[in-house]
Structure 1
């Protein structure tokens, strides 16, 4: 497989052969991140051939008659701006076919006709980035507000629901630790809690990979939690008093591109003093923006769609009242104008559902034994945002037994999107 870094060492024939191999391998790839990487390699091959041929792509021209029709079609597209007549002749001939390649060729002709009217994408002027609004950056520029107190929670529930239901919900309330995004601090110690960027890991550690073709893909580093930062917060006693929790996930899975792409890895290292920053083994096709973290204690109630509370309601009126309480508790202390722009990531507590009950909980024989370890929501670091698919959240779940035994590698993963 021709690497983009060593293309200059190949002669023209080898470059063309690398292009053919790239196109043929691309058709077999099921992993979106791996497919994007393959497309990046293809563009690098084309750029090198253009550089050598003065932009004519002459060494690639024989592929317009290649026996592999997909290679022929793909090569024709490369000539769309260089020799439109050659592109059109090759693609029109393929479009006569009544099979998949014929349909793709007809699509190419339609797209080209539109581009001739509206302009080719490569000629578009890139838009200037829009600076983030004050609403987007409010959270990372302000300290976290305190969560609702036990007394305030009791008063809120009691003012909306009957006494019996109030007592049930107070028993269901769980302490959780809110993750409050902050702007990344240049030069911060390697072992601080943070999201994105590069992980702090043991020197002999191997990066977790996802099986893919033509080569395995590195998981994305999602974030790390230094448990020392949590001490004194309600709920932290359920986690180690020190050490580093580090979370990774398949790019296809955590971005919502492939709901079957659930490969994740969770590591726990007791000694944080010897951890070193580790870069990706190959450039990631997706990037997780680095973000600082601070923490706040919160009291968490079951989401209104959780089966833990849905069975309590005899009518819709009571359910609606509970939804009001739930939102008030969740958004406590955050100015109304900024709530919709805030991240509500957390450790422990109850999953905040995007849809209905999590499948891992719904089909668990004893759902009380499976609980939230970490929920990651969208966040903004003051310069850029990170999103997990459209309106998505990532959930790492763990059993009571595994949490007590510090078997964090046994976490199960789920994603929900809008």
Structure 2
């Protein structure tokens, strides 16, 4: 596991392979920018060929629930099982200790049946009654492989794949937050953008912690919006009025990325994001997680 200093040194070496017109001023301002916004995170890779044992972190298939746990439902219809995370497997990859070192998290969300080959209809931000995050911190010998509910359509019987993890440092997602544009020549301007996005392209869209990569707007602001409007979303699944920007942006800083992953394509082309406020995470109140989606 490399340090943040070593990570930035690797980027500097790559930086020097590019022809810059004013390398000294570009390098200082750009690396000041990424140093201030680089954070540790955990990359997730799916490994279909790896055997999944009881309680292991995985995506798809069926959950390994505790003996007293039930498959969540919405209006008497089963939710879709997305993933389970064994926190003891993730603990060695935490550069900063945010998550508990034991227990299993289960992620479920409700979706209507697919309407066509492109998947189901859904709102990117929806009420908490349509998703559920369960936490189990009991004995592993009490876990059981839970079969798909009989009423679960085959489209949502997703293939199981093990998850493997890797620590990494994540640079700021948005290069346009860089403040020195007016000081750059046209050539250096284009090179900075190309360099920055070449680094982002090497990262995966499935991750734990860090700053989740958005497909649209800032993900933490979506979490904050959904959190502020929970009561209204419970009533009609839609809410037109925007909260005060200062309130939303302040609350956004309190969220931690628990899991970001692509949603299965039989549901639709979207990225799913699970976030939780720091206080709720500290108290293991995972039922307070917020789930939002973004699409292209």
Asked if TM exceeds 0.5, the reply is yes
Q: 2:89 aligned to 220, 224, 229, which one? A: 229
Out of 286, 291, 296, the residue aligned to residue 413 of structure 1 is 291
Q: Which moved more, 1:239-248 or 1:311-320?
A: 311-320
Output the CA distance in 1 between the equivalents of 2:55 and 2:258.
Answer: 20
Per the TM alignment, residue 175 of structure 1 is displaced from its structure 2 partner at its CA by 0.8
- Ranges in structure 2 where 5+ consecutive residues have no aligned partner: 21-25, 226-244
* TM-score (normalised: structure 1): 0.52
Specify whether residues 323 and 199 from structure 1 end up closer, same or farther in structure 2 by C-alpha distance, changes over 3 A only: farther
What's the Cα RMSD here? 3.2
1:258 aligns with 2:122: yes
Larger Rg: 1
Structure 1 portions without partners, runs of 5+: 1-146, 335-342, 379-385
Equivalent residue number for residue 9 of structure 2: 151
* Cα-to-partner distance string for 1:296-350 (whole Å, 9 max, x where unaligned): 1121123227xxx636364596775554344333344x8xxxxxxxx53000111
Compared CA separation, residues 191 and 323, structure 1 to 2 (3 A):
farther
Query: Could you tell me which residue of structure 1 aligns to residue 43 of structure 2?
Result: 178
In structure 2, distance between residues paired with 1:157 and 1:264: 43
Q: Assess if the C-alpha contact under 8 Å between 2:111 and 2:267 holds in 1.
A: no
Correspondence for 2:161: 291
Which one of 168, 173, 180 corresponds to residue 33 of structure 2? Answer: 168
What do residues 105-157 of structure 1 show as CA deviations (whole Å, max 9, x unaligned)?
xxxxxxxxxxxxxxxxxxxxxxxxxxxxxxxxxxxxxxxxxx98232135556
C-alpha separation in 1, matches of 2:179 and 2:196: 14
TM-score normalized with structure 2 length: 0.72
Show CA shifts across 1:359-388 (max 9, x none).
33575241211232210126xxxxxxx327
Please give the alpha-carbon distance, in whole angstroms, between the structure 2 residues aligned to 1:291 and 1:403: 27
Give me the whole-angstrom Cα distance separating, in 1, the residues matched to 2:271 and 2:195. 22
Do the aligned residues in 2 keep the contact of 1:302 with 1:351 (CA within 8 Å)? no
| Within-5 A mapping of 1:354-365 | 354-358=215-219, 359-361=222-224, 364-365=248-249
- Separation (CA, whole Å) in 2 of partners of 1:192 and 1:299: 25
Q: Which is helix-richer, 1 or 2?
A: 1
CA distance in 2, matches of 1:395, 1:323: 26
